[in-house]
Structure 1
Amino acid sequence: MSTGKNTKGYETPNHPYQGERIAEESDLLSRYGLKNKEELWRAQSELRRMRREARRLLGDAQGDVDVAGETGAEFVARLRRIGILGDADDISSVLSLDVTDLLERRFQTVAYRQGFGSSPQQARQFIVHGHVTVDGARVTRPSVKMDVSDESAIAFDETSPLADDLHPERAESQE
């Protein structure tokens, strides 16, 4: 008998068909190059957990932002480290975050924004196929949240054919 928790890491929408929601999800999928809606739902669930934690900390501090910030210093520090919150933001800023704030911090999106692909989908393919490294280590998961400090360490793997500046796919993506 297994003792581990047996739950999904995300929640699906409550209602299966809502045209406006489906159109919005499809737009986000294409804009960020996500493989399927599950990836979007995972990001939405992660955002819900962050907001829930911020509300809990603010509630325990009875609305005092400074006390909540001290209690949740590690929580806020993590969000700052991965670039979701700025240095000037406090714990109450978590409540105004949007799912796009999380999607912007995915390895796939950061790599695309730095020109490691001509589209988010191509950046994803380069990552999954092992052509992109972070600090010399190959990372093949496009959903990893990137630390701000690691952004400058993203590069093509030196053994990859894409490391050559004259590679046909690379020439398109670096323009």
Structure 2
Amino acid sequence: MALGSNTKRYETPNHPFQGERIAEEHSLVERYGLKNKEELWRAQSELRDYRREARDLLGQTQSEDDIATAGGEFLARLKRIGVLDEEDRLDAVLSLEVSDILERRLQTVAYRKGLANTTSQARQFIVHGHVTVDDARVRVPSYTVDVAEEDSIAFDETSPLADELHPERAEGQ
């Protein structure tokens, strides 16, 4: 993508004023501590792309062996980021939900790991540079955490939050 291009990385809903969809989106934004619905729509577009790729791969291939080889790299990527389990196959991609994508965000993983009391607090800690992944400071709450990186998420050692007695630290952490 060229510098300065303004290509949107998400699609907005086709029908903007559906009460049920709006309520569902609002609950997801609240539960995952997202900044706005744009972040949710970005995750939905990512999921849509995964499903599209899986459908294309399933449609191109004929036998079980063809499916295993054609979708190998695609499945390996989804397993690496933790969206799929190791034993899942290509057709499991079609049953994924947007919450599976949102669970792999750094913001959510840091909260689940106990670095923060809420997902919004986890977002603030990340944006303010208190959280590291593999000893590298990451300031992007939407960073997709690989399964291998999950254990290396911690507070930056130079951060005041690294002190266990800091008042903003999560209880028991």
Q: How many residue pairs end up in the alignment?
A: 172
| Alignment partner of 1:117 is 2:116 | yes
Quick one: which amino acid aligns to residue 35 of structure 2?
K
Identity %: 66
**Aligned residues: CA RMSD:** 1.6
CA shift for structure 1 position 32 = 0.3
1:67 aligns to what? Answer: 66
2:25 aligns to what? Answer: 25
CA shift for structure 1 position 30 = 0.4
CA distance in 2, matches of 1:127, 1:174: 20
| Alignment partner of 1:144 is 2:143 | yes
Equivalent pair of 1:162/1:169 in contact (CA under 8 Å): yes
Q: Which runs of 4 or more aligned residues in structure 1 lie more than 3 Å from their structure 2 counterparts after TM superposition?
A: 2-6, 172-175
Quick one: which amino acid aligns to residue 27 of structure 1?
S
Question: Could you report, residue by residue, the CA deviation over 1:88-107 in whole angstroms, capped at 9, with x for unpaired residues?
Answer: 00111000000000000101
Quick one: which amino acid aligns to residue 124 of structure 2?
Q
1:37 aligns to what? Answer: 37
CA shift for structure 1 position 72 = 1.8
1:12 aligns to what? Answer: 12
Larger helix share, 1 or 2: 1
**TM-score, normalized by length of structure 1?**
0.93
CA distance in 1, matches of 2:34, 2:167: 24
Runs of 5+ unmatched residues, structure 1: none
Q: Any idea what SS the aligned residue of 1:87 has?
A: coil
2:81 aligns to what? Answer: 82
Quick one: which amino acid aligns to residue 49 of structure 1?
D
